[in-house]
Structure 1
Amino acid sequence: MEWRGRRGSSNIEDRRGMGSAGAGGLGLVGTLVVLAVGWFFGVDISPLVSGMQDDARPGAERQLSTEEQEMGQFVSVVLADTEEIWTDVLAQQAGLQYQEPRLVMFSGAVQSACGGASSAMGPFYCPGDQRVYLDTDFFRVMQRQMGAGGDFAYAYVIAHEIGHHVQNQIGILPRVNRLRGQVGQTDANRLSVLTELQADCFAGIWARHAGDRFGSIERGDIDEAVNASRAVGDDILMEKAGRAPMPDSFTHGSAAERSEWLIRGMQSGEMADCNTFAEAGL
């Protein structure tokens, strides 16, 4: 993916030089396990993460490494791309003016309008403050432990969270949250899966239009994104955490489902083709 030397977004908050030292103290294997727990059960386990970090120094400022600075530039460029694409797509396909979200980069733990969160939760979108939260150490976990490295794989992660912002703006997230409070756990999990799969499809829409507009996608980039979508499937993460996959407990979708909806968005480029809820009969 060609991104260097391109425009970055101004909607970035970089908090990585503040607070705890990040997820490094866990080790990559430990981080993967904690990520799995956070994703599967939807709980904030930042106290556990903090307790396992030998070098965490709450409140201490630190200098960002060269690698972190470069990763920050990369995130800024990808965010700028999503702003341009969704401004046009939302206007043309939904008749709405896109409201640009902010993206917060943090290390270790962070406070949001949705409460406290840690690296253990993975990247997430908070509808309460319309911000995406990302610990860029997650990309190292993707590369070294999930076998899902590459710039475009990382861009897919960002685009997926931006997909949640699009869902929030068109009213999907509020409706899903209301419904989840009215049904049992199994049905609530399925609603969560449908929400995540639609965000994957929206990420595919971004990829389709970004490739057409910016010409930034290189050979192999699509494979990177599809591989990443499979790597974060609930069944794959459960297996890596030493658990038998249990579909009723899935909250993000299986590897096959996630890659299928990402590809659908890439091939179509149309929001109407990302209606996971209608396809599920809802």
Structure 2
Amino acid sequence: MPLLTTLVDNFNDNVIGPNWGDSYGGVTETGGRARVPLVAGAYAGYQTGRAWTLAGASIYLKTPTLPAASTGTDVGVHFMITSPVEGTGIGFKINRVTNKLRMQSNVDYFDAGAVELTYDAVNHLWLRLREDGTNVYWDTSPNGSTWTNRRTLATPAWVTTAIDQCAVDLFCYRDAGVTDYAEYDNVNTLADGAVYNGAAALTADSSLTSTGAVAVISAAALTADSALDATGHLAAHASADLTGESDLGAEPAGSDTGDIDFAVSRPTTGWVVSAPWR
């Protein structure tokens, strides 16, 4: 059961992802945003397949770029969760002609009890829909973190029965006026990180045209007066010639001379000298 909470896209790879397989009307992913054109008399939108569940889930996004009213009388930017029944859905509409933010629970494309506020480009930049098993909530935020509830409605029956049958439709329409576009961004994420690959032809005077991480390897030729300008560790090896004196003494094995005294003197008369002294 894929809850809408698990639908995440920051559009930063500039490729329309597989979750938006039902998109229509010439939409593109440009500059890290989902871009929807407004051409007079034509609908266009980013749309998922009917595989999602609103019950017990939430979904939020921001609308950083809105179209001009121009000469139109009906110029709208929509963020809707639609049911399998055509014309039945819950969501927001930003009316660029009246400058109203409309929070609606449509049946047959209309909600007589819809709540409307004067649109505030700062405080209504982020929009969120959520359902908790009892009610559906429409919330707005200036930053995607601090939310203000704008409307609360008892959960319509279709929300709890349309399990894995809901679609997200981010669509726009203008009835007249100059062609322009709206942009959506950051579906269920505050992260805007991305990886970009770029190439640059460098000469001695060239500069990189894209931000990158530069690693520099340098070498130094040192003389007696050179100095290293990087801290290093110095290991030294030294050799030494050692001299010394020693006395070597030994005792005969098995001899005990502890109680024998020897006296040595010149021989006198009466002595007999035998080997080995003669």
Structures share fold, TM-score greater than 0.5: no
TM-score by length of 1: 0.22
Higher strand share: 2
Task: Give the structure with higher Rg (CA).
Answer: 2
TM-score by length of 2: 0.22
Higher helix share: 1
